[in-house]
Structure 1
């Protein structure tokens, strides 16, 4: 076992990070012994991990953070940092290491206030004497103001602070920030590698593991969810029926409304799990009476929490819609595979009859237009277009395609 076990299909990136961890370890060792610091050019203070959804950006960043915190005595005998067993590796991987902060957001953006708090934490010396590691999983969600706040910290970091930023693409991060980071590009893992990790790590049956890995085209997180969550499988099955339901305008509008309703139900399920607990916790912290009456001066704090929960529900609904649109894109990709006779495996082999039917009744040009309609819908949602209007426009375009 090593810290890299869950980094799937990223051998080149893993080799670069392992080399950087060795240089970082050599630097720390030399400083602790008051020896001349060796050349450690493979290690730097700021890294930017980019790659498509499911490539494992945050998993790779966590593994690197664990390797930087490795305290295994085997290193003194020439062992590699990142053993996976020592206290430094273990606590970094499970999220309890005092010097590893993992920042993610369940809101639509990361604002200036949150970023200033993060920058202040980054100036602290590491409690364990090695590195202060800040993993920012959603660097693409920084507002422009928040990005400018972060820029100063990345330009002039504390001597033992390492920034690990994650984003889908290089263009999603401010140019001034990305120019000060070492950039690593992750690729979509092979289907076989994803199936292997599901079998080995999660105990998924081999047939199921290979099926969901193929259905999600190498997206590790979605593959695991499909394999373990019956509701996720049911929602995917509903989405994959949509291409057969857009034969007329009435069917288009009905399918769009059902897609929006399903996303809203997803968001409600997430909210039901967290909102009540958060609200009750805040009420208790603010000194609510036994009857639920709140002390004076607490209305502002309660309103702030309600606003946060509303923004979180909005993002949850957007994420659910995006997942459905990704499945829809995969369906039309399979249609195109059959139309062009590519001879590659279908991602959605479980709905082969539907794929065959659409492939026979349309042309490759029409399929490409349908894929473009799905992409346009995703872009419209990113621009805060009304979800219902965006999805209705897409379903009508799918009929016309």
Structure 2
């Protein structure tokens, strides 16, 4: 089984990577992998890393040798994977990566640095990588992942070879869930379609009843927005649900991280008070955990807005009579009711309203205020409420 088998519906990309690995002189030392959420950007980067380190020269990326397995798992000593749950990758971390890029590989043929969230490099951090991206040592490879070219500053993307992934077909995602995860075909097809081909979300929908129930609640919101009160209530519920989920994840993680930090510092976890130096480290940890919780809440809200926009998209298709498959094909009555409740221009406006809310969240707008404004903007026209 090849490591490239996990790149669903990306035949052109796989052909490029295979050619690069097997053809002398085809290698590029800095890559920018872009594609919509769920297209497999990080999978492509890890698969490429594995093929570069693979022990089999006749079949690079075999998926069986130790180099392939450890590269895909992120545990190969010469493959560094940077993934952050915080808002930005800061300049200090970028400088550390630039220094790491100057070192020779210890076991493999290449020193590979994968930055899964390169779009979260703030400008000083991106600037810190420029020289290393432009003139890396002969055996260093940079793999930067981002949703689009525009998510990185021009000076970074101009130094990279661009590799663009597309949205995989629904059928391909469903086939992966069936073959890899043993999901029943009807559930796999529902999840792939509802997730709009986002592989990670599709797997969660297929395996988690709570995720499916939550999605049903979200796509049921539009027809409940019959006035100011329901709109404000829907915004409050969405923020509260996202906050509770983020707090649950944070609480589960926080205690373990605190114990691990105290162990590293040689401090007594049962002590009533800690020395000043230890308290300083604990404060830094708590601040980082708060940023992670906030990011998790924003990501949860953004996922809900993606589901919400899919209902208006489907209603627009029904209203216009277009022969296009619906994302929410299992909820035809709900989609048709929404299509009757708005004129076509109103449905287009609803999609723009949701898009604006997502932009405001990215710009660190207060989630409740952003969602209240959005829900008010999505209120069903007075003559169509019922």
Identify the TM-score tier after normalising by the shorter chain: over 0.9
What CA distance in whole angstroms lies between the structure 2 residues aligned with 1:210 and 1:62? 26
What CA distance in whole angstroms lies between the structure 2 residues aligned with 1:87 and 1:297? 41
What CA distance in whole angstroms lies between the structure 1 residues aligned with 2:53 and 2:108? 9
Which residues of 2 match residues 215-364 of structure 1 at below 5 A?
A: 215-286=194-265, 287-288=267-268, 290-364=270-344
What CA distance in whole angstroms lies between the structure 1 residues aligned with 2:263 and 2:73? 29
Indicate yes or no: 2:359 matched with 1:379. yes
TM-score by length of 1: 0.92
What CA distance in whole angstroms lies between the structure 2 residues aligned with 1:128 and 1:285? 27
Aligned CA RMSD, in angstroms, stands at 1.2
| Map of 2:18 onto structure 1 | 18
Which residues of 2 match residues 171-182 of structure 1 at below 5 A?
A: 171-182=150-161
Indicate yes or no: 2:376 matched with 1:392. no
| Map of 2:348 onto structure 1 | 368
Q: Cα–Cα, structure 1 residues 80 and 289, in superposed 2: closer, same or farther, change >3 Å? A: closer
For each residue in 1:199-247, what CA deviation from the matched residue of structure 2 results, as whole angstroms up to 9, or x when unmatched? 1111111110000101111111110011112221122111111101111
TM-score by length of 2: 0.96
- Aligned pair partner of 1:123 in 102, 115, 119: 102
Q: Could you tell me which runs of 5 or more consecutive residues in structure 1 were left unpaired when the two chains were aligned.
A: 27-39
For each residue in 1:31-67, what CA deviation from the matched residue of structure 2 results, as whole angstroms up to 9, or x when unmatched? xxxxxxxxx0x21100000111011000011111111
What CA distance in whole angstroms lies between the structure 1 residues aligned with 2:285 and 2:73? 28
Q: Cα–Cα, structure 1 residues 285 and 172, in superposed 2: closer, same or farther, change >3 Å? A: same
For each residue in 1:265-312, what CA deviation from the matched residue of structure 2 results, as whole angstroms up to 9, or x when unmatched? 111121022111111222233312633431232221111001100000
| Map of 1:55 onto structure 2 | 39
- Aligned pair partner of 2:144 in 165, 180, 191: 165
Runs of 4+ in 1 over 4 A off after TM superposition: none
Which residues of 2 match residues 165-204 of structure 1 at below 5 A?
A: 165-204=144-183
What CA distance in whole angstroms lies between the structure 2 residues aligned with 1:213 and 1:118? 36
What CA distance in whole angstroms lies between the structure 1 residues aligned with 2:131 and 2:185? 49
What CA distance in whole angstroms lies between the structure 2 residues aligned with 1:362 and 1:382? 28
* Residues 239 and 324 in structure 1, CA contact (< 8 A), matched pair in contact too: yes
- Aligned pair partner of 2:132 in 153, 157, 163: 153
- Aligned pair partner of 1:44 in 15, 28, 34: 28
| Map of 1:97 onto structure 2 | 76
Q: Could you tell me which runs of 5 or more consecutive residues in structure 2 were left unpaired when the two chains were aligned.
A: 382-386
* Residues 283 and 294 in structure 1, CA contact (< 8 A), matched pair in contact too: no
Matched residues, number: 380
